[in-house]
Amino acid sequence: MKKIIIGKELTLEDVFAVATDESIQVDIDEKALIKVKKNRELVDNVLKQNKPVYGINTGFGSLSDVKIDNDKLKNLQVNLIRSHSAGVGKALEQPFVRAMMLLRAHNLSYGYSGVREEVLRSILFFLNNNIIPIVPEKGSVDASGDLAPLAHLTLALIGEGDVTYKGKQRIAKDVIKELGGKVLELEAKEGLALINGTQFMAALGCLALIEAESLTKHADIIAALSLEGMLGTFSPFDTRISDIRPHEGQKIVSKNISSFANGSEIKDSHKNCGRVQDPYSLRCIPQVHGAVRDAISYLRKTLSVEINSVTDNPLVFDDAIISGGNFHGEPLALAFDFASIALTELSSISERRTDKLLTPSFNGGLPAYLSKNSGVNSGFMIAQYTAASLLNENRVLAHPSSIDNVPTSNDKEDHVSMGATGARKLLSIIDNVETVLAIELMLAVEACTQRQPLKPSKELCKVIDIIRKDISALGDDRVIAKDINKAKSIINNKKIITEVRVG
């Protein structure tokens, strides 16, 4: 049984693994626990001194100037969780909640939040037993942390929230007792520590990133198939071109596309034709796909830092308790918006190739809409409409949420990141991109099939074989939606990039 240890550096792959595999167990590094216990003692000393320190014995947000008596601190923490559980919308799917729990526990395990070990053990009890708190997807502005989503998660820890356990929605307290666990009783600062952070948006971002990276690899393979289907030229992918404009993404894409041409009978069949230049959607694949890869690389870098950071407030150091702004989601918010714009461009260039595949003046003489009996049959005409519709939706969703600002907490929190909105939009864009690429994939395979007996490279033939196991060649018109969904499922399960070598 695989085990992940928090309290020392996590990778994005660790987060994805725990999110998607409920058999993985999570534990705490022993050295980290020493720090946790030591810094909790510092919080207890503040309480003994009875001096006002934000987050420990004061109110919150615009109420930070209100001193709270020690005998009311437990009640303060519970009230905080109840009042902040104001999320709305549908419940997050299990992988996102599992990722949230992992990241929240990891964040607290560094010790700078001043919580007890019991808080960490409570989160891990839920995670290791696959008890999934019901967390609504909407309600975070992500500046003073993902307050509402994390409050709903914490509400389950203290027994008051609802959870999903073994496929049924139940009251958290009942499941905890059934499994022999303990309902968490919050001490001073612990409620605030549990909700003050970016773990909701980071959890969504980690899973979005893995899917985005998969899509960039698929896009190169699919674009190469489109090139073959349209009798495009591979000369723009000469690596010497990218060597003198050496953006990392562009270099990788050029290498990928060039490798997919090796041994292609289709490419060799038209090497002496008079066609000099292809449209930009073919000729500029390295420049566009490469720029998208670079944007996604920036998201990876940002998330890698964020998941191993402390985003609580106030922070407990050896010699001081300091209030700051590490909870602010701006680093992630900007990265999500950048990735959203980039992936929208990926769907944009894919949709243009889809259109070219259906147009005889561009597709190397294949029939209109790839239908051998067009007129009576419409072929794949409306598949391109679907791609255009999803592209339009992506362009709307790609509007940056981070440039908006709605002040909260009586203007005390006067600049917020809206990063949680950015994370949710990114996931929607990814879903649309997957469908747009699925449509291009389906059409590109059809175009290559119509070139038979000529074949593309060995690697691309693998892709055709994978598609043809589930989607037959086009004859008379049929319900295209079923084929689109099958192609999308193939992309989603990553079988192509498992079988085909791609950088």
How many CA atoms does the CB half-sphere of 206 hold within 13 Å? Answer: 29
Parallel, antiparallel, or unpaired: how do β-strands 88-91 and 136-138 relate?
antiparallel
Cα–Cα distance between 72 and 57 in angstroms, integer?
9
58 phi, psi to nearest 5 deg: -130, 170
Going along 60-110, which residue ranges are E strands? 88-91
Cα–Cα distance between 96 and 206 in angstroms, integer?
9
Closest CA to 497 of 284, 222, 226, 238: 222
How many CA atoms does the CB half-sphere of 205 hold within 13 Å? Answer: 35
Q: How far is CA 106 from the centre of its chain?
A: 19
Angle at 170 between CA 165 and CA 176, to 5 degrees: 70
Catalytic (active-site) positions: 54
Orientation of helix 381-397 relative to helix 419-449, angle to 10°: 160
Cα–Cα distance between 448 and 222 in angstroms, integer?
11
Cα–Cα distance between 109 and 28 in angstroms, integer?
7
Phi-psi region of 70 (alpha: psi -120 to 50; beta: other; left: phi over 0): alpha
Task: Judge contact between 163 and 134, C-beta under 8 A.
Answer: yes
Q: Which one-letter amino acid corresponds to residue 217?
A: K
308 phi, psi to nearest 5 deg: -110, 25
In total, the chain counts a number of residues equal to: 503
Q: Which residues on adjacent β-strands are paired with residue 171?
A: 162
DSSP tag of 370: G
Q: Which residues on adjacent β-strands are paired with residue 25?
A: 3
Closest CA to 289 of 375, 222, 225: 222
Task: Judge contact between 229 and 444, C-beta under 8 A.
Answer: yes
DSSP tag of 376: T
Burial class (CB in 10 A: 0-12, 13-18, 19+), 476: exposed
**Gyration radius (Cα) of the chain, Å:** 26
Burial class (CB in 10 A: 0-12, 13-18, 19+), 185: middle
